[in-house]
Structure 1
Amino acid sequence: MTLYSQITPAHCDIAKWAFTTRRVNRNDVRGVCTHLARAKAGNLVLCEIAEIGHHKKIQLAERRAALSYPGDLVVLCLGDRYAPDQFLATAIIDDDLIDLVAGGGVAGRVDAAHVAMDAPTRLRPLGLLTGTGGTPINIADYALPSLTPNEDVTVIGVFGASMNSGKTTAASSLGHGLMRAGYAVAGVKATGTGAFGDFNSFEDGGAPALDFTDAGMATTFRMPLDRIEAGFDTLVATAAARGAEVVVVEIADGVFQQETQAILKSSRIRDRLDGILFAAPDALSALGGVMVLQQMMLSPFAISGMVSCSPLATAEAASVSHLPILSREELWSPDVIQHYVAPLMRQAPKDVAA
């Protein structure tokens, strides 16, 4: 590995900056602080890649993936992570090496991992990037201006039974269908771990995207609920100010994840939703998810996700849940949007697009 006798802001010029840092003005970097005990979630950390493990690429601020090599310099955010299929991680620097806990650019300490996971990519933290006065730079410094809640735009929430249940496909497909039905639509990822996959998926479907990194959070795991709510309010209001009539909001992970559970139980986010689309991997998860939501006095208007990929699973889920099961192709349809989503709108329904 490369040995650096002195770390300076010039090293940032040759570093790969991760997606989580995309809002940062790189000209604001004035120094590199080696007192790593000061680090907290959201701080920018200059790291050297020491060993390649599970994450072999870094998702860049430019929204492309870059192959990683030992010795690469990268600028990441310190952050927690909750991912049942991958890592549980803490936003802390307590050793000479730390872990790349998410390819979108989150570093920390892996505390637990799925049995199928390879060892994490190891990072050598070289310092915290600092601005004027030597204060560590945090992505919260670059958050969108806080806005009061918008009560006019329609908000459709997309929840799921678990990680990898098909939420992102369901959310982006719903956004695409709304666009084809003639609505001005935006996509918002309100919780989760910073990465460009969900962001790009919304925009690929024609919906301009925002996510919690725009609200100053690298991840929302272990963030206070009031901060997540404030981020949601700002993201929805920003989307509306930019012309959206309908905002599709994806909430990460499953209904038992702590922040998602808190949102569903009692929050401004729950109260603001005009409808819920639920994503499930199979029929049992579809039934269980609907039952959990009903216990909270919520009911989705339809189910989508991985379950909709199988005709047999679709039939099972429809039989036990008594709800429509909508595939991504069906969500693309203006007719389906008119039938299932238009009745939820705060605006007057539109004619089906030609």
Structure 2
Amino acid sequence: MSTAPIPIIVRTELPKRIQAAYTTRFVDEAIRRDPEEFHLLSGPGLHPRSGDVVVARVTNVGNHKRIETPTSRKAILFEGALVMVAYGNRYAADQFLAYVPDSLATTSLVAAGGLAGEVVAAHTRVSEPTEIEPLGLLANHSGVVNLNDFAPFENLPVTESRERRERPEVIGVLGTSMNSGKSTVMANLINGLAKSGRTVTAGKITGTGAGNDPMIYHDAGAAKVLDFTDFGYPTTFQLDMQEILALTINLVEHLTEPDTDVVVVEIADGIFQDETAKLLRDPIFHNTIDQVLFAATDALGARAGVHELCDVGLKVAAASGVLTSSPLATREANDVLAKFETPVLGTFDLSLPEVAESLLLRK
């Protein structure tokens, strides 16, 4: 009678010099407190999951020439350097489509914030991804370490009572795609509201883990900033919809302090990205977000996006984004959005207190 072979798993010590990435910052803190508690596991019997932490050697520097550190510094990558990143799926129309591989074979760094994945498609303008060779999955006495093991917040399941909890006004920032100006729009809105004397908190519900956007929100004047990485997710692409809906509620709840006047949240990528498209049509999202600000690169994108958002029943406060860099594109957008009674506001005009507070439903 034949029996299945026993998987071979090798345990090795954790190397002394490792560059942790932004996505692994909470795990890095735990290692610094007690490095003896951690080790590496490798072998053909291991199959990584999204969020599993891996230590890998950089074998070829490609598209990503830097890695974002836990403090959001952009550290230069050298071949042979050891990095600590997390496995995850990536959806980036301007860069890579990547998925968690099924083994610890050589793979790619697919996001500077610290995401390892197998690239299946790439934009023609980007170079080959940076190649990394996993040395092993990070582990402790409980087994393989996942980001959610050390995340400061838990993504609690949605319940009806939590859906109906009273909250401050919540504004969502969405856009046509990557690089449509969402983060800049959001930062200027935060800045304008803060200048008006209001206490603003900010967060990012979906996307790929990186410190740049949270840092911008903080610099703009947000009193508190959180994103999905604070709940143990390196990315939200391919995440179960119930988890994304729970993130929406949990993020807003944790951003709601006794003195919070407004919560502003960003939804990554474009409105036709799979998870975003489903999110925008869900009643839980509608019950949580009071209105949205839409960023677009041109008038056609602004009209199509605003039409789509109105069609699913969301209130659009205004359009803004990259298109407002051009007076002509702004004029075109104003013309085509008149039927929706949606104003077009300059991205940097949002930092003016009178402009920002004019958008509020709860004056």
1:16 is aligned to 19
- Residue 232 of structure 1 deviates from its aligned partner by 2.1
- Whether 1:317 aligns to 2:336 is no
Whole-angstrom distance in 2 between the partners of 1:145 and 1:94: 28
Name the amino acid aligned to 2:41. Answer: C
Whole-angstrom distance in 2 between the partners of 1:96 and 1:163: 30
1:251 is aligned to 267
- Whether 1:333 aligns to 2:352 is yes
- Whether 1:294 aligns to 2:303 is no
Whole-angstrom distance in 1 between the partners of 2:265 and 2:54: 29
Whole-angstrom distance in 1 between the partners of 2:38 and 2:276: 38
- Whether 1:80 aligns to 2:89 is yes
Whole-angstrom distance in 2 between the partners of 1:52 and 1:139: 25
1:112 is aligned to 121
1:183 is aligned to 198
Q: How big is each residue's C-alpha offset from its partner over 1:139-171, in whole Å with a ceiling of 9 and x where there is no partner?
A: 111231456555222110001011110000011
| Equivalences for residues 1-354 of structure 1 within 5 A | 7-9=12-14, 11=15, 13-24=16-27, 25-26=30-31, 27=34, 29-35=37-43, 37-94=46-103, 96-133=105-142, 135-143=143-151, 144-146=153-155, 148=162, 150-207=165-222, 208-241=224-257, 243-322=259-338, 323-341=342-360, 344-345=361-362, 349=363
Name the amino acid aligned to 1:45. Answer: V
Q: How many residues align?
A: 337
Shifted more, 317-326 versus 35-44: the winner is 35-44
Q: Is the 8 A contact 1:16 1:73 kept in 2?
A: yes
Name the amino acid aligned to 1:17. Answer: A
Residue ranges of structure 2 left out of the alignment (5+ in a row): 1-9, 157-161
Shifted more, 329-338 versus 110-119: the winner is 329-338
Q: Is the 8 A contact 1:50 1:71 kept in 2?
A: yes
Whole-angstrom distance in 1 between the partners of 2:350 and 2:177: 20
Q: Is the 8 A contact 1:42 1:138 kept in 2?
A: yes
Whole-angstrom distance in 2 between the partners of 1:164 and 1:242: 34
Name the amino acid aligned to 1:116. Answer: R
Q: How big is each residue's C-alpha offset from its partner over 1:75-129, in whole Å with a ceiling of 9 and x where there is no partner?
A: 0000000001100000115463100010100001001000111000000001000
Name the amino acid aligned to 2:280. Answer: L
Whole-angstrom distance in 1 between the partners of 2:322 and 2:56: 37
Q: How big is each residue's C-alpha offset from its partner over 1:231-278, in whole Å with a ceiling of 9 and x where there is no partner?
A: 222221111137432111000000100010011011422321111000
Residue ranges of structure 1 left out of the alignment (5+ in a row): 350-354
CA RMSD, Structure 1 to Structure 2 (Å): 1.7
Q: Is the 8 A contact 1:308 1:327 kept in 2?
A: yes
Shifted more, 90-99 versus 197-206: the winner is 90-99
Shifted more, 80-89 versus 90-99: the winner is 90-99
Shifted more, 181-190 versus 48-57: the winner is 181-190
TM-score normalized by structure 2? 0.89
Whole-angstrom distance in 1 between the partners of 2:68 and 2:170: 29
Whole-angstrom distance in 2 between the partners of 1:163 and 1:201: 17
Name the amino acid aligned to 1:113. Answer: A
SS class of match (2:239): coil
